[in-house]
Amino acid sequence: MATGDDLRRRALALEGTVETPHFDRAAFKVARIYVTLAADGLSANFMFTPDEQALKCLTAPDGFAPVPNAWGTKGATTATLSQLTAAELDSALRTAWTRALPKKKPPRPTS
């Protein structure tokens, strides 16, 4: 069973992650936000691709559900933290964090 404190600690352990306010939530980001934590610490919204979202919802249906709006169709996924194991939380964080890393710029041509 995961908690909001677990999410905060594990997210901040991922390289480059900073915590910032985001409306009534805490946001964790590298180049962009990859997860937000509800003020009550009971749930979090992860930014996945639609395929990643489908897999998470299939493998842990009590823990993950699409956000019920247009963001949900783009992969935004709500997690009920108490329904996640530590391994499921780590996997979700790593998946979302990887997508939020800065895009690598192609090398500049030399003249």
Q: What is the pLDDT of residues 41-82, one digit of tens each?
A: 999 999 999 999 999 999 999 999 999 999 999 999 999 999
Region 20-45: mean pLDDT is 97
- Confidence band, pLDDT 50/70/90 cuts, at residue 108: confident
In a domain, 106, yes or no: no
pLDDT at 111: 63
pLDDT at residue 110 in the model: 72
Is residue 36 domain-resident?
Answer: yes
pTM comes to 0.91
Q: What is the CATH number of the domain that holds 17?
A: 3.90.1150.30
Report the domain count for the chain.
1
Can you spell out the DSSP letters for 13-79? TSTT-EEEEETTEEEEESSSEEEEE-TTSSEEEEE--HHHHHHHHHH-TTTEEE-SSHHHHTTEEEE
Judge whether 108 lies within some domain: no
Report DSSP state, residue 101: S
